[in-house]
Amino acid sequence: MCGTGCAPGAPAVTSPVMTPVELTVLSTDETVTVGALAEDDRLLLEASAVHAVTGWEPKPEGLCRGDLCIPVRDPAARDHEGRYDLARVAAALHRPYAAERLDDESRAVAAIGEAAHERAAVYNDGTAPRVDLIDLDGNPITVPDHSRRKRLLLAWSSW
């Protein structure tokens, strides 16, 4: 089919190709895998998936966490089916964003970082953040632990 003013031999208007993908999202706290739709460079998520990967819940007022809601003014943030463009959700939250499709077209990965002011607020707050890592046996370990002692955290590397 084509739009108005069709000329003989005009190309048909085709719908963009939407591919279901398994999307791995690397946030600053954790790695979460959700289903999404990939359309060209866009990753489109249902509201529940946006909530799962960002911690912010889409509501009519915007993206909400507790009592705080951030309005999403970008008209391109949602598609005609109401799905959310993850890059534009990250932009509405003022967070850095980067994403890639994998060689296996059924998979994609995105990293959503923390805004500079959010990160600074954590430093200024002074409370030691707890982070889930893995130990030498590959088992989960939380750093720092809950020991209520003086603790020394050493960061090192092979490089």
Partner 1 sequence: MAVALDDSLDVIRPWVEAADPPLTSVRVALDADHRLAEAYGITNVPATVWIDEDDKVVKPPTITPGNNMFQEFTKIDAEGHHAALRRWVHEGVLPELPDRGDGTDANVARPPTAEEQTGRTERRLASWLHRNGQTEAAERHYARAVQLAPLDWTISRGSMPARGQDPFGNDFFDLYQEWEDAGRPDYQAMPGGDVPPSPDA
> Which residue ranges make up the site for partner 1 (CB under 8 A)?
24, 26, 28-29, 31, 95-100, 102-103, 109-116, 119-120, 122-124, 126-129, 131, 133-136, 138, 141, 143-145, 148-159
Q: How many CB atoms lie within 10 A of CB 77?
A: 19
Give the nearer residue to partner 1 in terms of CB position, either 14 or 139: 139
Q: How far is the CB of 159 from partner 1 (least distance, A)?
A: 4
Please give the Cα distance from 116 to 22 (Å, whole number): 29
**Do 89 and 54 meet the contact criterion of CB atoms below 8 Å apart?**
yes
Q: How many CB atoms lie within 10 A of CB 45?
A: 24
Please give the Cα distance from 67 to 112 (Å, whole number): 22
Q: How far is the CB of 121 from partner 1 (least distance, A)?
A: 9
Q: How far is the CB of 76 from partner 1 (least distance, A)?
A: 21
Give the nearer residue to partner 1 in terms of CB position, either 73 or 148: 148
